Structure 1
Amino acid sequence: MAYKSLSVLDFKPDLRSAHHAGIQKGSSIRFLRILVLLFLDATLLLLAWKLAVHQGTYIDSPWTDNSSFSWLVLFVQLGIIAATGQYKAGINRRNYLRLVKAISLSEIILLAIAFLYEPSSYLSRSTFILFWIFSCLFIGISRSIFDLGTNILRKRGIVQHPVFLITDTSEENEHIQLIKKENCYTIQGIADAHCLDLENRDRTFEYLRESGIVEAFVSWSAIKNRLYVCWNFHAAGITLRILPITSQVHHPKSVFRMVGSIPCLTIPAPLIIGSDFWVKRIFDLCCSIVLIFFLSPLYLLLAILIKLDSPGPVFFRQKRVGLHNKEFKIWKFRTMVTNAEKLQASLEAKNEIRDGVLFKLKDDPRITKVGKFLRRYSLDELPQLFNVLLGEMSLVGPRPLPVRDVERFHTKHFLRQEVLPGITGLWQVSGRSDIDNFEDAVQLDIRYIENWSLWMDLQILLKTVGVVLHKTGAY
């Protein structure tokens, strides 16, 4: 297989990055719904408070004579209603029992504030009781009318989300009926699982973006062996719903939502598309610049030691296969004799990786004295901060492998090439060189891709420090 060199003109982004910055699909309708509900709730809560003050027993108190307390009441009430999820989509805003609980909790908080503010003054108990009754009544009726109006509009084809269904033919009718029961979706297209295959994936997501698809429903049978594809939906700003749900499904950004009567694993689209990945990239850039600056004296010291130890250059540059199988030159401090790559052919028979994809040898005769020390503490990897700075690598990701290793890949192994390679990764903190089976290493890389988050990257970086200091599996 031939690998092309890295070029800006044919650059294809990391699996987790967005093609362009943007706002979550369908967010305008969601914001409008929240604004309408907030306006209705605020108006009705103020009305309920005014009526309660007028109808309740009058007591000369700051609560009844000072209009600013009305805004305090409104702030507390709306804050508690929002905190309990009453402005979320679907069944959340129709959960009247939870709504009554939220209003009751806000009443208790208001009573506590009233007591602490004026402990020596009397409070009109009838005012607070009436306010509680009016609030529950007005908000409950308001939500019912809002839902009734929304349903009428949806029956006329208004306020519906365009969705795309990906499912096997045998499950198609069942899933269509399930989606139609929600009465808030317009099925704009249907395809089978092959549309998510590598050769079809780009065309599929281009169609979804151009068609303005807000949510995608994908059957579990279509996604179960390719959960990493979830990042494509995430990066496109499209909310993903997996049907039906099984206990085996897991994704770090997934939440349970009801679609009809069936629990559905939902991976919501980010509000700002690609924000997580760009935070990762900015973090990589800032850290690499800071580390290069502070480690420059160490670079100089190691360069002197390498020169004194054996003849040859300080740095070793080797072709590695990175993002989307593009070749680039990786930077390392030289730890071997200058003709190490030529000597490898004679050592292949001693390879300690069982399946032969990678080449690892504990007592490799090509390693120099200083090289052993550098490898023991992973100091030979420090120049790769320049690769991070150039955007060829990340601090955390699957390790970029030599061309020799990638040429022995099976088709399933190439998934690890869909994300930016890293200086360290889940493979390195889970055993480093002690892993003697390439399939185990690939599974760790795939687990990282499927479950990636900024927090996961930070955890791997912290674990890397511990692994290096304890010299775990290094040689």
Structure 2
Amino acid sequence: MYYKSANSWLKHWDFILLDLVMLQMAYILAFGLRNGGRNPYADPVYLRTGIVLCLADICVVFFTEGYRGILRRGYFQEFKAVAFHAAAVICTMLAYLFLTQEGHAFSRLVFIYFTAFSVLLLYTGRISWRMYLLKHKRVYYSKRSVLVMTTSDRVSQVLDTILHNTYNELYIEGVVLLDRDDLVGQQIAGVEVVCTGKKILDYIQNRWIDSVMINVDKNTRLPEAFVRECLQMGLTVHQELDTMFDSVGSQRVERFGGYSVLSTAMRLASSRQIFFKRFMDLCGGIVGCILTAILCVVLGPAIYIASPGPIFFSQIRVGQNGRRFRIYKFRSMYMDAEQRKKELMDKNEMSQFMFKVEADPRIIGSGPDGTRRGLGWFIRKTSLDEFPQFWNVLKGDMSLVGTRPPTVDEWEKYDHHHRGRMAMKPGITGLWQVSGRNEITDFEDVVRLDTEYIQTWSIGLDLRILFKTVWVVVMGVGAK
């Protein structure tokens, strides 16, 4: 899935925080200038209005596109944007004072001072921070990894345009030249030519690549099957408008790397959808971490007594589009579980892409034949082992709802279309998990369910899966 963020306010959280601070400073200065340096928050009316000020600013940010192109705007355009932002916040505050009938207790002179200070401080803060970012080529949001496909006569211009129009928000994984196989391994403008056009899908397979940028002339025709395979792998394809052709998936024309492109992906998500999903993850992650801390008190000693060693199990897993991260669980297996896994491969009920054994002797408390009993089976049956993953959710490695994150060795065996199931952040639960995960033994069915989830994703679908997860866990449906 492609998170549409090129024109989104959400990625400019640094400017959002800066504006909040500047508005509060303007509010304090305005009140202090009118009242001899007193603290506005000591007065109940001004305290409530100060809180409304923060909420008003957040609402203005959310319902407008005030940060669109903030790194590219000129000084006068920035001043107009600041004036509009300040006016919207002030009008919201005035509406609050009118509706609550507290306007009589609020000094008009404070409002005049606040208006002047807010415009001055917002403008100064934004310009100063923007100059710092541009000087140091820094951005404070997640980079996206892109692979560039072009031809030798265009490559220098394409790379130069991308590098000088994205302010370090893109990481160029490499470049593929469709007309010069002999340049593989060499560098152009500091970017390596990584493979030939015929081997691009194999190169993408096990690497962190979020999208492919295609920039070729009108006479260079790419097969539509290539775009289809990229979509199956979960990649977003950005086509410079000269190279447009019909394809499947969701499409949108946008600016990318300094070019007008047609972006095609399994699913296009708006900035507001991303915001609400992340907001759900943060709320769920906080609550989940608190519950995990409580469970540690109970499960920690029990796990250690049953099998001396760490109470947590951690492992490198593969996340969205190939990102590596460390996942955490309560340990439900003996310490040598990973070593003994090789001995049980011939009993694997799934394909080579996943591992599951009906009677797993590695689980704490199991009999030699894997008889299901003891602490380990209880932890797994009740899904208590999953709770530490709320920390992964809070960090942003995972989401509450998503797809199952594969191990590195599973990931390296994936076929091209399997990669598509990792187009979203992996989740603690997901469509596959609530569809009777232990009754599904064909990995292609897992891929089908995960792909269906990504293509039909919505906040409503996430909520339905979360509610169904609670039901499945409580009733023990599909748990073994």
Structure 2 length-normalised TM: 0.47
- Rg larger in structure: 1
